[in-house]
Amino acid sequence: MRPKRMAKTFMISPSTLRNYEAKGLIPPAERSANGYRMYTDLHAAYLECIQAMAPSFGMEVTTEVLHDLRHDTPYDALWTVRKKEVALYEEKVKLEQIIEDIRQLTNENNSSSAMQRFAIHEVSEMTKIPKSTIRYWEQAGYVKADRDPENRYRYYSRAHLLKIRLIHVLQNSIYSEDTVKLKQSCAATEDTDLQGIMNLTEHVRSYLQECIETQMCGISSLWKLTQLLRAPN
């Protein structure tokens, strides 16, 4: 198949196709007698794998996986993908814990425990998120700390902590239009609005469910490609 036809099949430009080849994401194209590039079913399988994996695993991981295949180390590729599957599951577990903690805080209402305040170093220790990251999120508008009226030090409520943990789940996700919209929604939600934060968690849960579906599609294409590479010529 000539470059233009192959590119059209996968709705990419011929320059993108050449870029994939130059970066080693697909095998070098065969050449016709007059020197034109010619692409095969194997190239098509690589391109299908790229387009299936990139949305759920990101281009960096997709590139690493395809380089492993090109270097004939398929198990390295499979373990890389499994690591990302586990990471997604861990984010799902974190989200479910946030939901449970929101319910608990809602039930406690105005108790002394619910009214606790924490300094930024305490928040960092409890969430395992660097202080610099928390400050950056404040600058970006995702969360806004309260300020001590005397010394102007930042302090955070338990509701703040819930929102910070939710932002952290989003930060670990693959960058996409969906994650941008979710972060914008997060910025628009009041830091102490427990119902609003709960609504956000439901949107994030739906997003993670979509992620696992797209991961399965990517893994399916990867498996087909590994089997094609194993097949005798």
pLDDT tier, 223 (very low <50, low <70, confident <90, very high otherwise): very high
Tell me what the pLDDT averaged over the chain comes to: 92
Rounded percentage of the chain residues whose pLDDT exceeds 70: 97
- Tokens read off for 61: 């991981």
Burial 103-114 (b: 16+ CB within 10 A, else e): eebeeeeeeeeb
Q: Is the pLDDT of residue 173 over 70?
A: yes
Mean pLDDT of 172-194: 90
Q: Is the dihedral of CA 75, 80, 85, 86 positive or negative?
A: positive
What is the helix, strand, coil percentage profile of the chain, to 5?
70, 5, 25
How many Å apart are CA 154 and CA 144, to the nearest integer?
Answer: 9
The CA-based diameter of the chain, rounded to the nearest angstrom, is 81
Q: Is the pLDDT of residue 232 over 80?
A: no
Model confidence pLDDT, tens digit, residues 192-205: 899 999 999 999 99
Q: Is 85 exposed, middle or buried (0-12, 13-18, 19+ CB in 10 A)?
A: middle
Model confidence pLDDT, tens digit, residues 113-125: 667 899 999 999 9
pLDDT value, residue 128: 94
pLDDT value, residue 233: 65
How many Å apart are CA 114 and CA 160, to the nearest integer?
Answer: 11
How many Å apart are CA 152 and CA 149, to the nearest integer?
Answer: 6
Mean pLDDT of 169-187: 90
pLDDT value, residue 96: 97
Model confidence pLDDT, tens digit, residues 141-154: 999 999 988 888 89
pLDDT value, residue 174: 86
Q: What are the strands, taking DSSP E only, across the chain? A: 30-31, 37-38, 118-119, 146-147, 154-156
pLDDT value, residue 32: 83
Q: What is the pTM of this model?
A: 0.88
pLDDT value, residue 119: 93
Is the CB of residue 167 less than 8 Å from the CB of residue 126? no
Mean pLDDT of 172-190: 90
The DSSP code for 28 is P
Q: Is the pLDDT of residue 112 over 70?
A: no
pLDDT value, residue 98: 97
Model confidence pLDDT, tens digit, residues 24-51: 999 999 888 888 889 999 999 999 999 9
How many Å apart are CA 160 and CA 59, to the nearest integer?
Answer: 33
Model confidence pLDDT, tens digit, residues 44-67: 999 999 999 999 899 999 999 999
How many Å apart are CA 103 and CA 76, to the nearest integer?
Answer: 42
